[in-house]
């Protein structure tokens, strides 16, 4: 019986350790959720933040990470290419203030080449302290 309690205690401690610090209100997985309701999982977070234009063969955004950097937001996004050849996409961020309005002028589209069967991480920082939320816009640059 004592052994059972000990195992249960260890499992509970391990789960607590994995959970880490509680999320800040209005954030999910370290990412601002803006006007959205609580985002319960990574798929829903990507769904809320990602705006894909048209078909993007082989390349997809597989993860988003965010952190506060003083007054600015730091964002990282993972682009994964499932194909065997390199593929090209263009991306840009749209920054929104706490009211959901544009917090900065539109960014330029940035080209990105992702080698086949690899994952590439891009990183950025919000241009102004007014930015409280963001959208990641992605489109393909490969010719059909």
Partner 1 sequence: MKSFSTARLLLATALLGTMLGIAGCAKEAVRYGDARGVETVTNEFGSTDLQMIAESMTRSMLNSPVLNATNAQAIVTVQEVKNKTSEYIDTRSITDSIRTELQKSGKVRFAVDSAEMKQQIEELQRQQSEYYDANKSAEVGKMVGAGYRLEGNITSIVKQAKEVKDVYYKFNLQLWNIQNGLLEWNDEKEIRKTTSKQ
Shortest separation between residue 144's beta carbon and partner 1, angstroms: 15
Shortest separation between residue 100's beta carbon and partner 1, angstroms: 19
127 binds partner 1 (CB under 8 A): yes
Shortest separation between residue 11's beta carbon and partner 1, angstroms: 40
**Contact of 74 with 125, CB cutoff 8 Å:** yes
Handedness of CA 22, 119, 54, 107 (dihedral sign): positive
In sequence order, what are the residues at sequence separation of 6 or more whose Cβ sits closer than 8 angstroms to the Cβ of residue 129? 71, 72
Question: Among 41, 53, 99, 128, which residue sits at the site for partner 1 (rule: CB under 8 A)?
Answer: 128
Q: Which phi and psi (to 5°) does residue 139 adopt?
A: -145, 160
Q: What is the binding site for partner 1 (CB under 8 A)?
A: 69-70, 72, 74, 90, 92, 104-111, 124-125, 127-129, 141
């Amino acid at each position: 019986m004592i052994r059972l309690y000990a195992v249960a205690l260890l499992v509970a401690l391990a789960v607590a350790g994995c959970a880490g610090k509680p999320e800040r209100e209005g954030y999910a997985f370290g990412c601002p959720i803006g006007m959205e309701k609580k985002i319960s999982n990574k798929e829903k977070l990507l769904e809320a933040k990602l705006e894909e234009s048209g078909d993007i063969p082989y390349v997809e955004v597989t993860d988003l990470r965010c952190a506060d950097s003083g007054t600015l937001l730091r964002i990282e996004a993972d682009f994964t290419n499932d194909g065997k050849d390199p593929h090209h996409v263009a991306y840009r961020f749209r920054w929104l203030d706490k009211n959901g309005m544009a917090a900065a002028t539109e960014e330029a589209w940035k080209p990105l080449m992702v080698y086949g069967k690899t994952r590439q991480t891009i990183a950025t920082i919000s241009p102004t302290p007014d930015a409280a939320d963001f959208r990641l816009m992605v489109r393909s640059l490969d010719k059909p």
